[in-house]
Amino acid sequence: MREILKLAYRNFFRNTRRSIISGISVAIAVAVIIFAYSYLKGMTYSIIDNVVRLVSGHIRVTTREYERRERMLPLSEAVELTPELYQALEREGVVAVTSRIKFGVMLGDGDLTIPALGFGVEPEKETAILGFDKRIVQGEYIADDDQAVILGRELARRLGKKVGDTLTIITRTAYDSPTGMNLIIKGISATGLGGIDRSVFYLPLKKAQALLDLADKATEIVVILKDRGRAPVLAGAIRHQFPDLSVTPYQDNPILRYLVSVESLFMIFYFIILLVACSTIANTMLMVVFERQREIGMLKALGMGSGSVIAMLIIESGLIGLTGSVVGCLIGALFSYWLKFRGIDLTLFSSTASADMPFGPMVYFAPTPVIILTAFLLGLLASTVVAYLPVRRVTKLDPARALRTI
């Protein structure tokens, strides 16, 4: 075996240029995989973070009917905010519990009407969850008792409103009666999330309750945990205590479930990239077999079995793969870690990059040792697997005829 290794090692350097070219293709493929995987992971984390902050929390509590008809935003199916419910939610491991009211409204005067989504929120508590206090680009953040709103930047632009102007909201109460309120625009926010900046506004929960005739009610309660992994267990416990309510851990959010399935689909995609990249190795090994027919014939005539010759050639291919993978890992990791800290601004590539995507224009890559190791092993595996096909012709090679060919 040592001899085989030695021979393979020597052969690796016999045509250095060819070995390097084959190695480069593996290196590029491995680097691309690390790059793409880290980007996808970063995007996934960004989406999870946004979904948790803006939509579901780690656990979301609504009435069952609200959950079923959520697309219609049925205010009549709001949750009663009882002390018992709060007591049950504020348990060990819970960092924050906050209530929200989500309602649809047409904004605008005269001929201009823009469909918008209003959120009644608890401004104080939401600083740790929504974090809108950090997203104000003009004006100030709202306080719990303010008769004021925060408008998304794009929504403000479309309405032709600025800080200090009055926003008139006319909508329907939970009992379908017309209702309205004048609110001062106290701040304008920019999240970088197209859908939110274009159509969402926030007002204090108390004002939303008064506007919509929902005293001591909210359409949803959001719970943030210290350890998000415990969400399914805690959700189960709350559900057990309040069987009439819908208690959903964030892992059940349809967007996140979709992401998980996309991630496994991408693994197949990565392997295909590698197989294509490794076709250069297959080609190299095919040439090697043809070139060294006499030599292989000699080795076989000297008593080396077909298995050993195949092993020698596969090891040679593996060495190319190993070198390529190491170099690819270095390049991929370097770039990905750089973009982990620097981030990549998608608006550089397209102004509508985040139009309706649940992630912001800045995506921070998320490389991990597991990603790098996976790409390395995939590179090594693919380079040995693809070598087998051209190399197995060696078994058919007759030593006497091989020696006569040249």
Partner 1 sequence: MKIIFLFLLLIQSGLGQMTDPLAIIERVDKNTVTVTIHYRAKLEISVGGVVREKEFIGYAQGKDRGYMEFTAPARDKGTRFLKLEDGMWIYLPAVEKATKIAGHMLRQSMMGSDFSYDDMMENKKLRELYEIQLTGSDTAFGKECYVLDLISKVEEVAYQHRVLWVDKESFVPVKIELYAKSGKLMKEINIIGFQRIGDRNYPARIKMINKLRQNTYSEMVLEDIRLDVEIPPKIFTKAYLERK
Residues lying near partner 1 in the complex (CB under 8 A) are found at 106, 110, 113, 168, 170, 172-173, 175-182, 213
- Between 28 and 181, name the residue whose CB sits nearer to partner 1: 181
> How many helices (H) and strands (E) are present in the chain, helices listed first?
14, 14
Supply the minimum distance, in Å, between the C-beta of residue 203 and partner 1. Answer: 13
**Nearest distance from C-beta of residue 91 to partner 1, angstroms:** 33
Q: Residue 95 Cβ, how far from partner 1 at the closest point, in Å?
A: 36
- Smallest gap, in angstroms, from Cβ of residue 190 to partner 1? 28
Q: Which is nearer to partner 1, 182 or 261 (CB)?
A: 182
CB nearer partner 1, residue 33 or residue 183: 183
Closest of 109, 60, 393, 8 to residue 223, by C-alpha: 60
> In this structure, what are the phi and psi dihedrals at residue 229, rounded to the nearest 5 degrees?
-65, -20
Q: Which is nearer to partner 1, 92 or 109 (CB)?
A: 109
Q: Is 189 in contact with 153 (CB distance < 8 Å)?
A: yes
Q: Which is nearer to partner 1, 171 or 219 (CB)?
A: 171
Separation between Cα atoms, residue 296 and residue 371, nearest integer Å: 39
106 vs 301, which CB is nearer to partner 1? Answer: 106
- Length of the chain counted residue by residue: 406
Q: How far is the CB of 163 from partner 1 (least distance, A)?
A: 21
Write down the least CB distance from residue 120 to partner 1, Å: 16
Distance of closest approach, residue 80 Cβ to partner 1, in angstroms: 14
Tell me how far, at minimum, the Cβ of 256 lies from partner 1, in Å. 34
What is the distance between the alpha carbons of residues 122 and 143, in angstroms, rounded to a whole number?
8
Lookup: tokens for 320: 């190319």
**Minimum Å distance from CB 66 to partner 1?**
15
**Pick from 6, 84, 52, 1: nearest CA to 316:** 6
For 298, counting Cβ atoms within 10 Å of its Cβ (0-12 exposed, 13-18 middle, 19+ buried), the class is middle
User: Contact 212/171 with Cβ under 8 angstroms?
Assistant: yes
Query: Which residue's CB is nearer to partner 1, number 212 or number 363?
Result: 212
Token pair for 104: 């649809």
What is the nearest approach in angstroms of partner 1 to the Cβ of residue 213?
Answer: 7
Residue (180 or 229) nearer to partner 1, CB: 180
Nearer of residues 83 and 178 to partner 1, judged by Cβ: 178
CB 223, CB 79: distance < 8 Å: no
The residues near 262 (Cβ < 8 Å, ≥ 6 apart) are: 40
Nearer to partner 1 among residue 192 and residue 204 (C-beta) = 204
Q: How far is the CB of 147 from partner 1 (least distance, A)?
A: 10
**First-last CA distance in the chain:** 29
Closer to partner 1 at the Cβ: 183 or 378?
A: 183
Is the alpha carbon torsion for 66, 69, 72, 77 positive or negative?
A: negative
- DSSP secondary structure code for residue 78 in this structure: P
Cα 220 to Cα 63, 194, 246, 258: the distances in Å are 8, 23, 10, 23
β-bridge mates for residue 360, sequence order: none
- Contact (Cβ atoms closer than 8 angstroms) between residue 209 and residue 120: yes
d(CA 315, CA 66): 62
The first and second tokens of residue 83, run together, are 């002390």
CA dihedral 138, 143, 145, 150 (to 10 degrees): 30
